[in-house]
């Protein structure tokens, strides 16, 4: 049999760790199976190792391991396996096997069976008898079920993936403006005022419209972009904020999708649909919904949530910190982790900074704690894990929770509870101490910026405590690595 050729695309919301870890796992699994694979990564710096039209045409099957929406037009007619990046990291070999099975089934269905003697000729029209349509229908049904189960989450994460660069750039620029003094930006004409203008009045002003626009884009492609962004901008103007932007994105996206699918004009007017009719009607619809239906109720929810978080008692703060810490460590960059992070980021626009501090600290301690554990209990880790521990130091300091994944994949029942314990304690302490963080990313590298955090030393202490707790718990409950003993040498027979 000819060597199977596969192509794959990996993409995660942040486009940093999961994207590349999934690509590496798929490449290794394919090499182990003796297959040829090319993996395109759609990360934070754009598409890398891009699949050419010739490579797409030559592929026997396609693997899409993405937590965001990925365009699949170039793979029309090819069997496609869908998964999230987490599944690719955990079970790349299984995805490779699924892809090969689909490729074999598609090839078998496309090969006409020899006609039996005396059999009637196939009809010239009607349902084909070679099974090709049936295979396509089965694949489409599976994809539809998967879309129904994960569609809204994928659309939301697509919006978040485009939003994050605006939030990070804007947040760090705002933090840099505070380096000149917490109110220095109020002096017009100064560098602090310029930094604040770029970060707060432009980058931060755009992140809700970008979120809404790309949620709608994920749902309806280009027709959804205009109503989504317009609805997102209106959400900020009517006070509905981050939550309103999410609603605007889904309303705009599904409205545009409905129009494209259900309104059919004469061919002479069809060209007006994407450039005039769809954006005009859907933008008007979303705008009226945001102004007259959604705006005030969501504004009230936003205001209530903001007031509650600002006036939260120490006991409530600790409980919220525990919950966010558990979420950050549970799947290390997966959907639950992203939900906690997105919640904290959304509150930055409302000038609520304590959840952001708790979330970032809780996301740093899993890789840091595991890196420390490889030093405290080296007998309980393999040589590969000890090597991963060296990298985990850097990943943890940079707030890349995915640095804990290699350890969790090897021993999930012991590692995941350990890192959840450390992260929960870290976030609870951060909330209890009222630590506020104005930068949405960067790990320890943003802490030296003056005024970016209200108490850097106490914040560092929270991270150190969580790191030590994680290391101690995993060192206690993890079992020593059982190394293979060399076979005993046979005794030489005594000479007589």
- CATH (domain of 80): 3.40.50.2300
In a domain, 231, yes or no: yes
In a domain, 140, yes or no: no
What is the sign, positive or negative, of the torsion defined by CA atoms of 254, 258, 260, 265? negative
Same domain, 286 and 350: no
In a domain, 129, yes or no: no
Alpha carbons within 13 angstroms on the beta-carbon side of residue 456 total 11
Same domain, 34 and 164: no
Same domain, 272 and 418: no
**Residue where a domain terminates, one of 55, 81, 110:** 110
In a domain, 138, yes or no: no
The three-state secondary structure class of 42 is: strand
Same domain, 467 and 323: yes
How far apart, in whole angstroms, are the C-alpha atoms of residue 276 and residue 270? Answer: 10
Catalytic residues, by residue number, are 12
**Residue where a domain terminates, one of 274, 298, 322:** 298
In a domain, 366, yes or no: yes
Largest CA distance in the chain: 106
How far apart, in whole angstroms, are the C-alpha atoms of residue 159 and residue 153? Answer: 10
Same domain, 328 and 242: no
In a domain, 203, yes or no: yes
Which of 87, 83, 69, 67 is closest to 13 using CA atoms? 67
Same domain, 96 and 30: yes
In a domain, 392, yes or no: yes
Report the number of distinct structural domains present in the chain: 3
Same domain, 102 and 170: no
The three-state secondary structure class of 394 is: helix
pTM: 0.70
How far apart, in whole angstroms, are the C-alpha atoms of residue 218 and residue 175? Answer: 31
Same domain, 293 and 187: yes
Domain residue limits at 428? 314-477
In a domain, 98, yes or no: yes
**Residue where a domain terminates, one of 257, 272, 298:** 298
pLDDT, residue 116, reads: 45
Distance of CA 44 to the CA centre of its chain: 11
Same domain, 251 and 175: yes
How many other CB atoms are there within 10 angstroms of residue 21's CB atom? 23
Burial class (CB in 10 A: 0-12, 13-18, 19+), 364: buried
What is the residue-level pLDDT of the chain in tens, covering all 496 positions? Answer: 466 789 999 988 777 778 888 898 899 998 888 888 999 998 877 788 899 988 888 888 999 998 887 888 888 888 899 988 888 888 888 899 998 888 888 777 766 555 444 444 444 444 343 444 434 444 444 444 444 345 787 888 888 888 888 888 888 888 888 888 877 888 888 998 999 899 888 988 898 999 999 999 989 888 999 999 999 999 989 888 888 999 999 999 999 999 988 988 888 777 788 888 899 999 999 999 999 998 889 888 888 877 877 777 778 889 999 999 999 998 887 778 888 888 888 888 778 899 999 999 999 999 999 999 999 998 988 888 888 888 889 888 988 888 888 888 788 889 999 999 999 999 999 999 999 998 888 888 888 888 888 889 999 999 999 999 999 999 999 888 765 445 455 444 444 3
Phi, psi of 263 (to 5 degrees): -105, 120
How far apart, in whole angstroms, are the C-alpha atoms of residue 372 and residue 475? Answer: 9
The answer to whether 20 and 44 have CB atoms below 8 angstroms apart is no
Same domain, 216 and 318: no
What is the residue whose two structure tokens read 């869908």? 82
Same domain, 463 and 428: yes
pLDDT, residue 259, reads: 92
Bridge partner list, 64: 9, 82
Same domain, 258 and 288: yes
How far apart, in whole angstroms, are the C-alpha atoms of residue 100 and residue 205? Answer: 47
């Amino acid at each position: 049999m000819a060597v199977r050729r596969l192509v794959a695309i990996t993409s995660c919301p942040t486009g940093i760790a999961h994207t590349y870890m999934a690509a590496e796992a798929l490449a290794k699994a394919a090499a182990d199976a003796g297959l040829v694979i090319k993996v395109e990564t759609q990360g934070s710096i754009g598409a890398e190792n891009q699949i050419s039209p010739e490579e797409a045409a030559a592929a026997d099957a396609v693997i899409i391991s993405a937590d965001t929406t990925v365009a699949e037009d170039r793979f029309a007619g090819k069997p496609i396996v869908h998964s999230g990046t987490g599944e690719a990291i955990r079970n790349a070999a299984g995805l490779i096997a699924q892809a090969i099975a689909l490729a074999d089934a598609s090839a078998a269905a496309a090969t006409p069976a020899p006609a039996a003697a005396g059999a009637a000729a196939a009809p010239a029209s009607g349902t084909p008898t070679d099974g090709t349509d049936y295979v396509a229908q089965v694949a489409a049904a599976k994809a539809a079920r998967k879309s129904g189960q994960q569609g809204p989450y994928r659309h939301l994460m697509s919006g978040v993936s485009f939003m994050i660069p605006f939030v990070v750039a804007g947040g760090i620029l705002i933090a840099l403006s505070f380096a000149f003094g917490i109110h220095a930006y109020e002096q017009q004409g100064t560098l602090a005022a310029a930094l604040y203008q770029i970060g707060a009045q432009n980058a931060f002003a755009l992140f809700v419209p970008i979120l809404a626009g790309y949620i709608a884009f994920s749902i309806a492609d280009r027709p959804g972009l205009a109503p989504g962004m317009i609805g997102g901008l209106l959400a900020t103007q009517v006070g509905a904020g981050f939550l309103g932007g999410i609603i605007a994105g889904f309303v705009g996206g599904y409205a545009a999708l409905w129009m494209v699918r259900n309104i059919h004009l004469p061919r002479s007017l069809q060209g007006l649909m994407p450039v005039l009719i769809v954006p005009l009607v859907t933008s008007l619809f979303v705008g009226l919904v945001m102004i007259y239906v959604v705006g005030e109720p969501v504004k009230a929810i936003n205001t209530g949530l903001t007031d509650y978080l600002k006036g939260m008692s120490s006991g409530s703060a600790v409980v919220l910190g525990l919950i966010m810490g558990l979420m950050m460590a549970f799947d290390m960059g997966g959907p639950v982790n992203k939900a906690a992070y997105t919640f904290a980021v959304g509150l930055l626009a409302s000038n609520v900074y304590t959840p952001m501090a708790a979330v970032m600290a809780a996301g740093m301690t899993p890789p840091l704690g595991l890196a420390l554990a490889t030093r405290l209990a080296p007998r309980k880790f393999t040589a590969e894990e000890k090597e991963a521990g060296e990298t985990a130091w850097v990943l943890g300091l940079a707030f890349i929770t995915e640095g804990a994944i290699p350890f969790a994949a090897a021993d999930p029942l012991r590692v995941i509870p350990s890192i959840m314990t450390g992260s929960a304690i870290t976030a609870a302490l951060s909330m209890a101490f009222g630590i506020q963080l104005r930068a949405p990313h960067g790990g320890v590298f943003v802490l030296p910026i003056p005024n970016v955090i209200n108490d850097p030393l106490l914040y560092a202490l929270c991270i150190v405590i969580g790191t030590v707790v994680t290391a101690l718990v995993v060192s206690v409950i993890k079992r020593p690595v059982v190394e293979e003993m060399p076979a005993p040498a046979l005794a030489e027979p005594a000479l007589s």
